[in-house]
Structure formats: structure tokens, C-alpha cells
Amino acid sequence: MGIIETKKLIFEYIRRDEEGNVEGITRAVDQVDLDIKQGDFVAILGHNGSGKSTLAKHLNAILYPTEGTVWVDGKDTAKEEYLWDIRQNAGMVFQNPDNQIIGQVVEEDVGFGPENMGVPTKEIWERVEESLKAVGMYKYRKHSPNKLSGGQKQRVSIAGVIAMHPKCIILDEPTAMLDPNGRKEVIRAVRALNQVEGITVILITHYMEEIIHADRAIVMDQGHIAMQGSPREIFSQVERLKELRLDVPQVTLLAYELKKSGVSLPEGILTCEELIAALPV
């Protein structure tokens, strides 16, 4: 069994009118089966309203399934006695960096999670130091979060999560509010965590460039898993992605168009270098 597993996961939002009568039911997640192994880097894609954020909130026991089951590290998220274990093992980073930083000093914010877990003071300091170093924010430890850039704030949020020593981190569109430089910073930090520390990463995003380095990509549409496979496999199906209202990286699109007009190229080109190497001279 993997670190995260879901079976026939269904979640329904119930809309009610003013008297509390049920007006309608929206199925945000529908029959999702996932199996994520320890150490994987999985990207979940989808346009707005595809259910990807709702799915993410199940992996951290913020939402509970309407039907089906979610296991985090072998523990059923619907059981209350495992709640804190699950939240510690599956850390979550949200979209807006301002709304998830609690401390008034960077180091205090990173210490917030361990404080809640009841970690002894001395160990909190060790954890704060090591997690700030892991995301490259150690020299800002005495700064106020208000004075940092978006990418830096988001790296502090990530440090705050890894200070809890999770087995897995779920990032719910962590780069949606950042500029291109901030996005690069954050993705670099996340990749380093995955490769150096071996933390399982689940990255939810709608920026295609960010999933190139993932081991596996899952495309969601209307609550279902629409496509699944390595980034290369996903990007070789340009038509299908367009149907799902998703963009492909510019290089992939260029290669696709070239191929369509008769240039012989392999499927699923992801980077400029690959395209240059593959182009017939």
C-alpha cells in the first residue's frame, strides 16, 4: 500500500436555499482511485472547477469523503482518532501565501506546526533551522513575513510544513499568485525536497511547465481522472489536452505543429533542448 490511497472517492457539495432545503448537489470528486507511492512526485492538473483542490483537501482530512475511502499512510481519514496523525503526515501548502503565515517573524511561523504537535523547545529550534535551510530561507529567519516577496513567503510556508516532518506534502496551486521568478523559486525548492529529502510531493497546478519534472501526472476533469501517465505520455496527446481546456508548454505545442505539417519528430517533446536535438538538420 502506498503513502496515499483513495478508493472510489466521491465528494458532493450540497447547495441549500435559505430554508435549508436541498437545492442541488454538485459532485466535485467522482469515483477517484489513486495510489501514490512513498517518494513519488505526482502532479495533478485540471482547469478551474475540475475538482483538483477538493481532492487535495481530502488528503489532509480537511474534507471527508461522501462515499469511498482515503488512506494516508494506511490510516483511514474518516476516523477521528487518526486526525492529527494524518495532518502531521500529510502537510498542506495553500495558494495564498499571506493567508497561511501565522507568525510575525519567519522563524516563529515555521515553529508553529511543531509547537502544536507538542515538540520539546530544543527540538523545535533544530527543526526550524533545518527546514529553513532546506528551502534556502535560513538567512531571513528574523525577518517579518510582510517584507518578503511572494516566492519567499511561499517557501516559508513550505518550511512550516516540513518542520512537522511529514511523509508527504500536498501543494494546492502554490504558485498561482506568484510572478514567474517566484514560481521558479518555489518549484525548485519543491523538487529539492523530493529528490534530497525523499518527501512525497503532490503538486496541484494549472501551469504545465511545472509538471515536466514529475514522475507522474494526473489530469482531472469534472471530478474524474481524465488522463494519467508520465508527463511525456500526457503531452503527446495535444488534442486531448485541448479538449480538456488545458495548455501545453510552448515547446511541445511547436513540436506538435511542426509534426502536423510534416517534420519528422518523436512524440512528447518537453524542453527546448530536446526539440533542438530532435530536429532534422
Partner 1 sequence: MLRDITLGQYYQTESVIHKLDPRVKLVATIVFIITLFLINNFIGYIIAAVFLACMVKLSKVPFRFMVKGMKSIVFLLMIAVVFNLFLTPGEPLFSFWRLTVTKEGLKLAVMMAIRLVFLIIGSSLMTLTTTPNNLTDGMEKLLSPLKRLHVPVHEVSMMMSIALRFIPILLEETDKIMKAQIARGADFESGNLIKKAKSLVPLLVPLFISAFRRANDLAMAMEARCYRGGEHRTKMKPLIYQKRDRAAYGVLFAYAAVCIYFGRIFTI
CB of 267 vs partner 1, minimal distance in Å: 39
List all residues 6 or more positions away from 203 whose beta carbon is below 8 Å from its beta carbon. Answer: 41, 42, 43, 44, 171, 174, 190, 210, 211, 214
Is 150 a binding residue for partner 1 by CB under 8 A? The answer is no
Stretch that binds partner 1, among 12-20, 41-49, 74-82, 95-103 (CB under 8 A): 95-103
Q: Give residue 121's identity as a one-letter amino acid code.
A: T
- CB nearer partner 1, residue 146 or residue 264: 146
Could you give the residue ranges of the DSSP H alpha helices within 222-271? 231-235, 238-243, 250-260
State the nearest-atom distance from the C-beta of 230 to partner 1, in Å.
Answer: 29
CA 49 to chain centre: 16
Cell reading at 87: 495532518
Q: Using CB under 8 A, which of the segments 36-44, 120-128, 192-200, 218-226 binds partner 1?
A: 120-128
Per-residue x/- marks for partner 1, 23-62, CB under 8 A?
-------------------------------------x-x
What is the C-alpha radius of gyration for the chain, rounded to an integer number of angstroms? 20
Q: Is 119 in the site for partner 1 (CB under 8 A)?
A: yes
Nearer to partner 1, 87 or 155 (CB): 87
Binding mask 153-172 for partner 1 (x = CB under 8 A): -------xx--x--------
CA dihedral 247, 250, 256, 261 (to 10 degrees): 120
For CA atoms 219, 222, 223, 225, the dihedral sign is negative
Which of residues 26 and 104 has its CB atom nearest to partner 1 in the complex? 104
Q: Which residues pair with 220 in a beta bridge?
A: 225
Binding site for partner 1 (CB under 8 A): 60, 62, 84, 87-88, 91-92, 94, 96, 98-105, 107-108, 111-121, 124-125, 128, 145-146, 160-161, 164
